[in-house]
C-alpha cells in the first residue's frame, strides 16, 4: 500500500510546529536593560508567573524606559523602576512611585538572594504584612560573602525573631490584663505573665519548621555572596544572565541622600530579547 507522502509531510509539519510552539511557551523570557552604564540582561522565572507576566507587560508598555537606578547600596543591591524618576529633579526623594497596584508574594524555596538575582521591592511589614510586591519597582542583588558561622548566627537570630513575634501575638490577647497590672504597679504579676507567655511562645515555635539555610544557600553565600537576610521576605523572580559588570559599575556609583546616585544612572530602554 502506497503512503500518501504529501499528507504524511503535512502531518509532520503540523507536529513540528506544535512541538515548537510548546517549547517556546516553556522557555524563559529574557529582558535587556540598556543603561547609561552598559547593558544588563535578566531571565524571568516561570515559577513566579504573576511577577513574570507583570514585568513583561510593563516592559512592553515602556514603563521602565528613562527610569533611574534611584537607590544604590554597596555590597547590597541596586534598585530601579520608580516611574516618578523619569522626570525627577536632582534633589527629589525617590522610591515612592508606583503603577497603582501590587503583586501577591510568590515565594519559592528554590530561589534565594544570591548575587545577581532579580527581586521585587515592597513596602514594609507594618503596612504590608502579606509582603505583597511593588507593581513596578525591582532590585538586583550584589551582596557580599559570608562565613558559615555568620549564617548559623543569622539562622538563630531569625528563629528568635519568630519566637518574639509569637510572644507579641500572645501578649496582644492579654492587653486588658496587662493594662490593669500596669495601672496597679503589679510588677510581680507582669513578670509572671511574661514568663508564662514566653514559655508558651517557645512551645508553639517548636511546632513550626525552624528557619534553616539549605546546603545550596550556604554554598552560594560563602562563595559568590548575596543578601541572605532578605530570604523569605521579598519575591525573587529572575536573575542576571549577562552584564553583571554593568551592575558592578552601578553599585560603585557615588551616592548622596537616600542612597541615590549623585550622577543619574538611567535605564534608556527595556526590551524583550527575541
Tell me what percent of the residues of the chain surpass a pLDDT of 70: 91
Q: Where are the domains of the chain?
A: 28-145+224-272, 149-206
The pLDDT-based confidence of 26 (bands split at 50, 70, 90) is low
Q: Residue 223 has what pLDDT?
A: 98
pLDDT in tens, 257-272: 999 999 999 999 999 9
pLDDT value at 23 more than 70: no
Architecture of domain 28-145+224-272 in CATH? Beta Barrel (2.40)
* Helix 187-206, helix 175-183: angle, nearest 10: 160
Q: Which of 101, 64, 71 is nearest to 86 (CA)?
A: 64
| Percent of the chain surpassing pLDDT 90 | 89
Q: Residue 111 phi/psi, 5° resolution?
A: -105, 135
Task: Say whether pLDDT at 16 is over 80.
Answer: no
pLDDT interval class at 124 (50, 70, 90)? very high
- Position 7 confidence tier, pLDDT thresholds 50, 70, 90: very low
Q: What pLDDT is recorded for position 21?
A: 34
Confidence at residue 145, expressed as pLDDT on a 0 to 100 scale: 98
**Cell numbers of 68, please?**
533611574
d(CA 158, CA 208): 13
pLDDT digits (tens, 9 = 90+) for 194-222: 999 999 999 999 999 999 999 999 999 99
pLDDT of residue 5: 42
pLDDT confidence tier of residue 274, bands split at 50, 70 and 90: confident
Instruction: Report the pLDDT averaged over residues 74-90.
Output: 97
| pLDDT tens profile 172-200 | 999 999 999 999 999 999 999 999 999 99
The rounded distance, in Å, linking the Cα atoms of 156 and 143 is 21
Amino acid at each position: 500500500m502506497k503512503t500518501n507522502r504529501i499528507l504524511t509531510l503535512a502531518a509532520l509539519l503540523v507536529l513540528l510546529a506544535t512541538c515548537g510552539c510548546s517549547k517556546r511557551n516553556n522557555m524563559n523570557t529574557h529582558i535587556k536593560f540598556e543603561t547609561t552604564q552598559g547593558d544588563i540582561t535578566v531571565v524571568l522565572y516561570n515559577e513566579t508567573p504573576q511577577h513574570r507576566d507583570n514585568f513583561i507587560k510593563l516592559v512592553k508598555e515602556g514603563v521602565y524606559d528613562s527610569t533611574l537606578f534611584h537607590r544604590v547600596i554597596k555590597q547590597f543591591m541596586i534598585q530601579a523602576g520608580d516611574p516618578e524618576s523619569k522626570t525627577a529633579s536632582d534633589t527629589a526623594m525617590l522610591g515612592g512611585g508606583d503603577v497603582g497596584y501590587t503583586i501577591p508574594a510568590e515565594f519559592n524555596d528554590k530561589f534565594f538572594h544570591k548575587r545577581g538575582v532579580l527581586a521585587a521591592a515592597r513596602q514594609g511589614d507594618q503596612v504590608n504584612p502579606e509582603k505583597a510586591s511593588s507593581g513596578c519597582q525591582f532590585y538586583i542583588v550584589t551582596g557580599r560573602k559570608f562565613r558559615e558561622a555568620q549564617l548559623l548566627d543569622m539562622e538563630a537570630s531569625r528563629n528568635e525573631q519568630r519566637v518574639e513575634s509569637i510572644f507579641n501575638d500572645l501578649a496582644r490577647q492579654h492587653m486588658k490584663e496587662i493594662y490593669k497590672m500596669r495601672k496597679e504597679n503589679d510588677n510581680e504579676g507582669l513578670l509572671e505573665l511574661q514568663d508564662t507567655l514566653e514559655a508558651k511562645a517557645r512551645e508553639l515555635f517548636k511546632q513550626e519548621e525552624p528557619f534553616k539555610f539549605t546546603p545550596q544557600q550556604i554554598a552560594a553565600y560563602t562563595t559568590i555572596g548575596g543578601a541572605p537576610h532578605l530570604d523569605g521576605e521579598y519575591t525573587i523572580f529572575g536573575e542576571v544572565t549577562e552584564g553583571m559588570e554593568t551592575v558592578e559599575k552601578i553599585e560603585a556609583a557615588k551616592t548622596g541622600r537616600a542612597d541615590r546616585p549623585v550622577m543619574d544612572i538611567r535605564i534608556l530602554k527595556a526590551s524583550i530579547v527575541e
